[in-house]
Amino acid sequence: MDADFILSGSPALADLNDALNTLGFRRRGDRYVHPRVPFFVEFPRGPLGIGKDVQIRAVWRVRRGAKTLALSATDSCRDRLAAYYHWRDQQSLAAAVAIALRNRVALRKIREWSQREGHLEGYRAFLAEVERLRRSRRRGGRSPG
């Protein structure tokens, strides 16, 4: 229920507060909340990393004319799998599966990363769920989301 942003610079806390206040967000501890937004915003310290991998390259995303740097689909999938691997968070596994079903992801890269992280069994569970839902789709079943 949060959106994390890694800042490339080091803005003063007052400047960050001012910028988010203009959007209606208010600081509560280490997060920013908005009365009409169902998630909160955080700015964790960098570097950007997924598990032990800190060699992450963000990609440009364009939506409705707005351009922003974000994780690739493969890295978004790995990020959700990291939560699944480390906290056994089933919602994160479901999110990783949904990302893999809706986007092209580099399964080999995900498998190799999972192995380096010591979670090859978790990767196998992820892959089995992806394959199960793909088969279900081909038979006319509905996919999540």
Q: What is the total count of domains within the chain?
A: 2
The predicted-structure confidence for 114-134, as pLDDT tens digits, reads as follows 999 999 999 999 999 999 999
**Are residues 50 and 93 located together in one domain of the fold?**
no
Q: Is residue 144 part of a domain?
A: no
Give pTM, 2 decimals: 0.83
**Are residues 56 and 114 located together in one domain of the fold?**
no
pLDDT confidence tier of residue 34, bands split at 50, 70 and 90:
very high
What local confidence, expressed as pLDDT, does residue 1 receive?
81
**Are residues 54 and 83 located together in one domain of the fold?**
no
Q: What string of H, E and C letters represents the secondary structure of the chain?
A: CEEECCCCCCCCHHHHHHHHHCCCCEEECCEEECCCCCCEEECCCCCCCECCECCCCCEEEEECCEEEEECCHHHHHHHHHHHHHHHCCHHHHHHHHHHHHHCCCCHHHHHHHHHHHCCHHHHHHHHHHHHHHHHHHHCCCCCCC
**Which residue, of 50, 70, 90, is where some domain finishes?**
70
**Are residues 8 and 19 located together in one domain of the fold?**
yes
**Are residues 47 and 8 located together in one domain of the fold?**
yes
Residue 45 is part of which domain span? 2-70
